[in-house]
A and B are shown apart, each in its own frame.
Chain A
Amino acid sequence: SQQGEEDPQALSIQEGENATMNCSYKTSINNLQWYRQNSGRGLVHLILIRSNEREKHSGRLRVTLDTSKKSSSLLITASRAADTASYFCATGGPDGTASKLTFGTGTRLQVTL
């Protein structure tokens, strides 16, 4: 079964606005990663946050992690048309298990001019 549920399923905003996507997961994790997938393409790693971190930044991206609520959020600031893609959160298994990523259901982001 899918580990993560993402919210919203789809998001449409105008260029320049901020986009926030949320991810909730069910079991304890070692790390959480966010990926982008452009239509018909592969997945591109955006950012990784470890279970002992609360916030991380990379350029226009800001990721938060709340392990007590088993949730994470991805904020894209000053969005651009090129940010149009599907965004997935993926959780790395708990300590002591074989490493694998379990993906959420994804958020489809549409940025219009």
Chain B
Amino acid sequence: DTAVSQTPKYLVTQMGNDKSIKCEQNLGHDTMYWYKQDSKKFLKIMFSYNNKELIINETVPNRFSPKSPDKAHLNLHINSLELGDSAVYFCASTMGGILGGARWFFGPGTRLTVL
């Protein structure tokens, strides 16, 4: 069974379009994240939700809007896509809390290509 799943796996779209990426975890975790991995393989945190509440927003353009309808889902909507948004986006989940320190699980990634 897939612990953290993302859809779609690949997304190719034109500049200016709006698109969404979905993430679901079946681990009962209370904290979910979106990370962006650029072409140089740098992984940078974008957002974190704990129990459906936004707790981390790392200076991401407001074209990116995360939504967490419930603890098991964290979606990412991107408006007015730009070339620089091309990257691999990873969803992750863990049992959170202030101290963290629990094991994390990552989804397989969504490769977004903006033409």
Contact = CB atoms under 8 A, between A and B. Distances in A.
Are chains A and B native binding partners rather than an unrelated pairing? yes
A48 to B, nearest CB: 6
Interface stretch (A18-26, A62-70, A71-79, A92-100): A92-100
> Chain A contact residues (Cβ within 8 angstroms of B): what range?
20 to 34
Nearest to B108: A42
Given A31-B100, A98-B55, A100-B33, A41 B45 contact: no
> Chain B contact residues (Cβ within 8 angstroms of A): what range?
20 to 34
A100 B54 CA distance: 13
Interface of B: 31, 33, 35, 41-45, 48, 50, 55-56, 90, 92, 94, 96-101, 103-109
3 closest A-B pairs by beta carbon, nearest first, are: A99-B100, A103-B43, A43-B106
Given A42-B107, A45-B103, A105-B42, 6 more contacts: A2-B42, A42-B106, A43-B43, A93-B100, A98-B55, A99-B48
